[in-house]
């Protein structure tokens, strides 16, 4: 079964897409053709979209699904009038929330992904710059300025996770790649022990790591399964000695790992002092 899905918004469409994706993920037997339609903010654009809905309905033999966050009633009515299953993601919640809070909604669109709080936005951008400047252990002397530090063997997913933490949570994120020198010494440098309260280790299945490294340096010793297995095995021993949480990037996305890190950082802050800073190993 094939169904076309339109994520529609007067502005960025990020909210419609995020909730729409979540809802679709509940129906994994259906093949969804997903179309992202931001900035549907004129009646003309809405009419053009109803035309595309009609085409999709013909093609699929079933009307398309529309996930929308529309505040303008005229535009909303045009979309609703098209041949589609229209799901308005805002309407149902805004009224009850307004009653609970005792204030009317502003009905301005695009507020949630605009720069409404300049100080928080600036913090996020600075965190991204910090992550760029402190990637791959370039500046371990900066770790004391970081909110979070990741460590792991080469290609275990440190960089994308750091960037996600910076971009979404405004965390100054740095990372330390475990080097040949560390393997020879059989231990990680003291400066990682010094930041254990904000340090997280990444691990990955050797087979997956081999694929990633092979992509980067085909046929190299660095990419061999043996080397990947050895690197990970040795790294695991070091993590044990460090007693830091270990997260697995084979099975978990950067979103999942990041939200776990956020939770653990908060738990450390909430109860860390009382429990001697002990952190759980996942």
- Note the maximum CA span of the chain: 69
Whole-angstrom CA distances from 97 to 57, 85, 104, 226 are 35, 25, 9, 57
Residues 48-87 that bind a copy of itself (CB under 8 A): 65, 69, 85, 87
Told to check if 11 binds a copy of itself by CB under 8 A, we report: yes
Which residue among 58, 101, 218, 274 contacts a copy of itself (CB under 8 A)? 101
Closest CA to 40 of 66, 4, 3, 2: 66
* Shortest distance (Å) from residue 212 CB to a copy of itself: 9
Which residue among 44, 107, 138, 269 contacts a copy of itself (CB under 8 A)? 107
Token pair listed for 129: 């710059």
Question: From CA 131, how far away is CA 129, in angstroms rounded?
Answer: 5
Told to check if 152 binds a copy of itself by CB under 8 A, we report: no
Identity of the residue, 160 or 277, whose beta carbon is nearer to a copy of itself in the bound complex: 160
Told to check if 33 binds a copy of itself by CB under 8 A, we report: no
Q: Total residues contacting a copy of itself (rule CB under 8 A)?
A: 71
Pick the stretch among 10-18, 195-203, 224-232, 273-281 that binds a copy of itself (CB under 8 A): 10-18
**Residues placed in the known binding site:** 152-159
Contact 5, 65 (CB under 8 A): yes
Question: From CA 53, how far away is CA 3, in angstroms rounded?
Answer: 11
Residues 112-151 that bind a copy of itself (CB under 8 A): 112-116, 121, 125, 128-129, 132, 135
Which residue among 38, 140, 177, 189 contacts a copy of itself (CB under 8 A)? 38
* Beta partners for residue 200, in sequence order: 150
Which residue among 31, 58, 61, 103 contacts a copy of itself (CB under 8 A)? 103
**Residues placed in the known binding site for ADP:** 152-159
Judging by beta carbons within 10 Å of its beta carbon (0-12, 13-18, 19+), is residue 234 exposed, middle or buried? middle
Pick the stretch among 220-228, 231-239, 259-267, 273-281 that binds a copy of itself (CB under 8 A): 259-267
Told to check if 29 binds a copy of itself by CB under 8 A, we report: yes
Contact 176, 151 (CB under 8 A): yes
* Shortest distance (Å) from residue 237 CB to a copy of itself: 27
Pick the stretch among 29-37, 192-200, 225-233, 237-245 that binds a copy of itself (CB under 8 A): 29-37
* The total number of residues written for the chain in this structure: 282
* Shortest distance (Å) from residue 242 CB to a copy of itself: 23
> What percent of the residues of the chain are helix, what percent strand, and what percent coil, each to the nearest 5?
55, 15, 30
Query: Among positive and negative, which fits the CA dihedral 94, 96, 100, 102?
Result: positive
Count of other CB atoms within 10 angstroms of residue 26? 7
Identity of the residue, 42 or 234, whose beta carbon is nearer to a copy of itself in the bound complex: 42
Told to check if 274 binds a copy of itself by CB under 8 A, we report: no
Which residue among 256, 269, 271, 273 contacts a copy of itself (CB under 8 A)? 256
């Amino acid at each position: 079964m094939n169904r076309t899905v339109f994520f529609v918004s007067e502005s960025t469409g990020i909210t419609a897409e995020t909730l729409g994706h979540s809802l679709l993920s509940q129906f994994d037997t259906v093949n969804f053709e997903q179309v992202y339609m931001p900035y549907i903010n004129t009646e003309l654009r809405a009419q053009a979209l109803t035309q595309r809905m009609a085409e999709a309905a013909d093609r699929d033999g079933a009307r398309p699904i529309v996930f929308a966050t529309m505040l303008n009633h005229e535009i909303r009515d045009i979309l609703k009038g098209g041949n589609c299953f229209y799901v308005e993601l805002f309407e149902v919640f805004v009224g009850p929330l307004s009653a609970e809070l005792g204030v009317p909604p502003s009905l301005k669109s695009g507020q949630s992904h605009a720069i409404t709080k300049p100080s928080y936005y600036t913090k996020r951008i600075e965190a991204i710059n910090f992550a760029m400047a402190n990637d791959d252990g370039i500046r371990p002397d900066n770790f004391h300025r970081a909110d979070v530090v990741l460590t792991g063997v080469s290609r275990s997913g440190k960089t994308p996770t750091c960037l996600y933490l910076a971009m979404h949570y405004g965390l100054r994120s740095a990372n330390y790649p475990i080097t040949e020198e560390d393997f020879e010494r059989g231990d990680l440098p003291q400066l990682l022990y010094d930041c254990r309260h904000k340090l997280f280790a990444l691990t990955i299945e050797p087979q997956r790591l081999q694929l990633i490294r092979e992509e980067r340096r085909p046929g190299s010793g660095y990419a061999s399964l043996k080397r990947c297995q050895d690197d990970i095995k040795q790294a695991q021993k070091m993590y044990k000695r460090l007693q830091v949480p270990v997260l697995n990037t084979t099975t978990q996305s950067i979103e999942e790992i990041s939200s776990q890190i956020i939770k653990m950082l908060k738990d450390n802050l909430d109860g860390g002092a009382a429990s001697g800073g002990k952190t759980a190993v996942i």
